[in-house]
């Protein structure tokens, strides 16, 4: 061939290539040889060569629920339609939402990148799965790459139960399973927040990929625990490494705050529980309750029960006694004590005898309530104490001296404090006008609402009153146990007028302190504590109302627990519907807490509480007048109960 002809052919080919939009020169166009080498005749002429499949950078993973894009095109133009099949070999990964799709390339788009969406689908297992994406054609070998679906599910522990409230001694079934299929065995441990309240019959269970969704049962039991008196919240926890713990709350109802409505064979149908006073017969393990029985013309009744409040027997103490002296109204404002004389123990009850001009009466019975006698104490002393000399008596027994001592508000003597001291059989009584003989002497109204306490170790007698001659502030009288050498102390410690209503008195033998609790009307009728040395000096006041409101400190009854170093005070809580309330503090009056111990009883169920400790069974026993029924309400709970 001539050189001129070769040049023409080469020039013509160059012009042709310059007119092709998608012509790719894979050679070196700076030389004729390179130019000729770069010519892809199959893309030009569509005869012998086929275009390559060009894939953008392939992803190695995609997170579950997410997607990535992949671009695919042909390297060269094509004269005919070319098809590519793109597919996934698992359902974990889809192509444009399907297991496979077909891409079409023709003369118009052969080198234009088409974009597909590769998505890792959501599933219910916790396994990262591997899939293979394949691109197939009928002119080139298949292209395949691996992609991992990274699992992003969070494993969960499922807990199902039938009940959320359990009574002590009950149990219930709880079922456990996993939310997702695990990639390895999962150990779930079961624990209780308080093993004294709740426990499980097993402490661990194992789940695998075959049984993870099958609920497995365990038994949760509510244990009997005698030191809880209120409903408790117990938690059972389900735990496994790397999995969020699940806690199930259970309300645990206990039966350790007991209530009984005391009635006996038709006695006590109504109005039998006025002004209750309690004592424990330790010889026979009996609870003794003296009341003003308005069902029986306000005569004196005795209820004698087991220490748990059961099997009560009623005695009309006035029966068989002189109806003139021991008639209607002879049993008001009871105060009971035990004469523990080993040869002839007796029940002693002092009352305000309305059938005898409100003088002081003493009833004396055998421990079973039989063989009762009556003594008109006011008339047995010299000089005789007259009308209303026996208002609101408070009785104690001096075992060492074989004497009984009774304090009263003596309305016949300007409402001053009187003290009657007798032999244990009610004979040989003497009277002391404590208000007048005390140093310094006190005047009109200085003996209201008296409460008496004997310190047998130091042979001292303590009497707390509301002192109307000192603006109704709390008063403390300290006498020798023989009623001599009485001294008066204003223990109000700066509290104002009306701070000394309805005192109750106790002794702190641990710290050698005398304690007086009052309804402090200078502080909205809340409960106040006056704490003094045994000589009546150094008194300190503490508001022990523990957040309770107006008139929450009415009619207090107080005892100390020296073993656990606690003060217990029960009141009629007017703020809480006149229900029974309990205040428990440290012996120094700190760390006070309030407890509604009304045991579900309604308004006015907590009148005139009287409290004793059952030391043998470590129980607190409280009786009230329950205005729902007008009968005796009996409450019982552990002495050292837990919050």
Beta strands of 39-96 (E only): which ranges? 53-55, 61-63, 67-74, 82-88, 93-95
Distance separating alpha carbons of residues 51 and 140, to the nearest angstrom: 9
CATH topology of domain 53-150: Immunoglobulin-like (2.60.40)
525 in Cβ contact with 554 (< 8 Å): yes
Residue 399 CA: distances (Å) to CA of 313, 340, 402, 546 = 27, 8, 5, 37
Q: Quick one: three-class SS letters along 535-603?
A: CCCCCEEEECCCCCCCCCCEEEEEEEECCCCEEEEEEEEHHHCCEEEEEEEECCCCCCEEEECCCCCCC
| Contacting residues for 51 by C-beta, under 8 A, at least 6 apart | 43, 74, 75, 76, 77, 78, 82, 110
Burial of 229 (0-12, 13-18, 19+ CB in 10 A): buried
Q: Cα–Cα distances in Å, from 288 out to 191, 336, 367? A: 46, 8, 9
Report the C-alpha gap between 474 and 465 in whole angstroms: 6
pLDDT at 128: 74
| Separation CA 606–CA 121 (nearest Å) | 67
Grouping H, G, I as helix, E, B as strand and the rest as coil, residue 286 is strand
pLDDT at residue 42 in the model: 34
Under DSSP, the state recorded for 212 is: T
Nearest alpha-carbon partner for 429 in 411, 410, 405, 450: 405
Which run of H or E residues covers position 278?
strand 274-281
pLDDT of residue 526: 99
How high is the pLDDT of residue 341?
A: 86
* pLDDT profile of the chain (643 residues), mean per 10: 38 41 41 37 46 90 88 91 93 93 92 93 78 93 89 82 91 92 93 92 95 94 88 93 91 91 71 95 98 95 97 94 94 97 93 98 97 97 97 98 98 98 98 98 98 97 99 99 98 98 98 98 98 98 98 98 97 98 98 96 97 97 93 96 88
Alpha-carbon torsion angle 357, 362, 364, 369, nearest 10: 60
Contacts of 92 (CB under 8 A, 6+ apart): 120, 121, 123, 129, 131, 149
pLDDT for 225 equals 83
Q: Using CA atoms, how far apart are residues 535 and 125, in angstroms rounded to an integer?
A: 79
Q: Which residues pair with 335 in a beta bridge?
A: 350
Query: Tokens standing for 589?
Result: 């009056």
Question: What is the C-alpha R_g of the chain?
Answer: 47
> Are 593 and 546 contacting, i.e. CB atoms less than 8 angstroms apart?
yes
- pLDDT of 266 reads 59
Question: Does residue 443 contact residue 358 with C-beta atoms inside 8 Å?
Answer: no
Spatial distance between the Cα atoms of 478 and 475, rounded to a whole number of angstroms: 10
Distance CA 480, CA 309 (A): 37
Query: What is the C-alpha to C-alpha distance for residues 200 and 109, in angstroms, rounded to an integer?
Result: 70
Q: What is the pLDDT of residue 267?
A: 61
Range 79-104 burial, b when 16+ CB lie within 10 A, else e: eeebebebbbeeebbbbeeeeebebe
Of 583, 588, 574, 575, which Cα lies nearest the Cα of 620? Answer: 583
457/514 Cα distance (integer angstroms): 13
Residue with tokens 């691996």: 146
Contact in structure between 507 and 558 (CB atoms under 8 Å): no
Every domain of the chain and the residues it spans = 3-39, 53-150, 157-253, 258-638
**Domain 258-638 part of CATH 2.130.10.10:** yes
Taking every pair of C-alpha atoms in the chain, what is the biggest distance, in angstroms?
Answer: 169
Distance CA 357, CA 362 (A): 14
Tell which CATH classification among 2.60.40.1180, 1.10.12.10, 2.60.40.10, 2.60.40.180 matches the domain 157-253. 2.60.40.10
Positive or negative torsion for Cα 551, 574, 568, 457: positive
What pLDDT, on the 0 to 100 scale, is given for residue 19? 41
DSSP 3-state of 378: helix
Strand partners, 160: 175
258-638 and 157-253 share a CATH fold: no
C-alpha dist (Å) from residue 348 to 322, 337, 473, 614? 18, 5, 31, 19
Task: Report the pLDDT value the prediction gives residue 618, as an integer from 0 to 100.
Answer: 96
Cis peptide before 440 (omega within 30 of 0): yes
* Number of residues that this document lists for the chain: 643
């Amino acid at each position: 061939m001539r050189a001129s002809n070769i040049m023409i052919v080469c020039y013509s080919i160059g012009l042709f290539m310059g007119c092709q939009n998608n012509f790719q020169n894979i050679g070196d166009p700076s030389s004729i040889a390179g130019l000729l080498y770069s010519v892809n005749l199959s893309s030009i002429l569509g005869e012998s060569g086929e275009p390559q499949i060009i894939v953008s950078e392939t992803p190695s993973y995609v997170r579950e629920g997410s997607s990535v894009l992949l671009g695919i095109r042909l390297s060269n133009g094509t004269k005919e339609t070319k098809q590519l099949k793109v597919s996934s070999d698992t359902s974990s990964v889809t192509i444009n939402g399907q297991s496979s799709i077909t891409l079409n390339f023709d003369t118009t788009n052969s080198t234009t990148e088409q974009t597909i969406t590769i998505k890792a689908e959501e599933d219910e297992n916790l396994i990262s799965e591997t899939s293979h994406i394949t691109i197939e054609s009928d002119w080139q070998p298949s292209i395949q790459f691996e992609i991992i679906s990274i699992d992003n599910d969070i494993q969960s522990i499922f807990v199902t139960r039938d009940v959320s409230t359990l009574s002590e001694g009950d149990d219930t079934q709880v079922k456990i399973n996993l939310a997702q299929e695990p990639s390895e065995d999962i150990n779930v441990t079961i624990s209780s927040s308080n093993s004294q309240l709740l426990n499980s019959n097993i402490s661990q269970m194992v789940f695998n990929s075959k049984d993870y969704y099958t609920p497995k049962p365990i038994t949760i039991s509510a244990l009997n625990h005698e030191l809880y008196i209120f409903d408790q919240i117990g938690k059972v926890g389900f735990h496994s490494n790397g999995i969020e713990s699940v806690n199930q709350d259970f309300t645990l109802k206990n039966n350790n705050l007991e209530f009984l409505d005391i009635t006996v064979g038709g006695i006590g149908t109504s109005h039998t529980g006025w002004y209750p006073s309690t004592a424990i017969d330790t010889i026979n393990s009996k609870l003794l309750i003296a009341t003003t029985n308005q069902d029986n013309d306000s005569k004196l009744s005795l209820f004698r029960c087991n220490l748990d409040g059961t099997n009560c027997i009623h005695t009309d103490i006035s029966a068989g006694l002189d109806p003139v002296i021991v008639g209607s109204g002879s049993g008001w404002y009871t105060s009971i004590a035990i004469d523990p004389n080993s040869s002839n123990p007796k029940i002693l009850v002092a009352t305000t005898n309305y059938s005898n001009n409100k003088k002081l009466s003493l009833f004396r019975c055998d421990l079973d309530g039989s063989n009762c006698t009556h003594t008109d104490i006011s008339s047995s002393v010299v000089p005789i104490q007259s009308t209303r000399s026996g208002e609101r008596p408070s009785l104690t027994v001096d075992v060492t001296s074989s004497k009984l001592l009774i304090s009263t508000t003596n309305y016949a003597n300007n409402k001053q404090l009187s003290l009657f001291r007798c032999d244990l059989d009610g004979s040989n009584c003497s009277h002391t006008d404590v208000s007048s003989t005390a140093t310094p002497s006190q005047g009109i109204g200085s003996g209201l609402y008296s409460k008496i306490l004997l310190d047998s170790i130091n042979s001292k007698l303590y009497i707390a009153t509301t002192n109307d001659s000192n603006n109704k502030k709390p008063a403390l009288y300290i006498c020798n146990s023989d009623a001599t050498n009485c001294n008066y102390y204003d223990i109000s410690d700066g509290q104002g007028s009306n701070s000394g209503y309805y005192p109750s008195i106790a002794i702190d033998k641990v710290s050698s302190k005398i304690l007086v609790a009052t309804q402090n009307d200078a502080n909205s009728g809340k409960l106040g504590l006056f704490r003094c040395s045994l000589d009546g000096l150094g008194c300190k006041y503490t508001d022990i109302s523990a957040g309770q409101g107006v008139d929450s400190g009415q009619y207090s009854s107080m005892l100390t627990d020296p073993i656990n170093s606690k003060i217990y005070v029960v009141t009629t809580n007017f703020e809480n519907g006149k229900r029974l309330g309990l205040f428990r503090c440290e012996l120094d009056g700190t760390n006070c807490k309030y407890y509604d111990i009304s045991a579900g009883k309604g308004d006015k169920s907590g009148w005139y509480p009287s409290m004793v400790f059952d030391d043998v069974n470590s129980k607190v026993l409280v009786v009230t007048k329950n205005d729902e029924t007008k009968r005796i309400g009996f409450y019982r709970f552990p002495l050292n109960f837990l919050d």
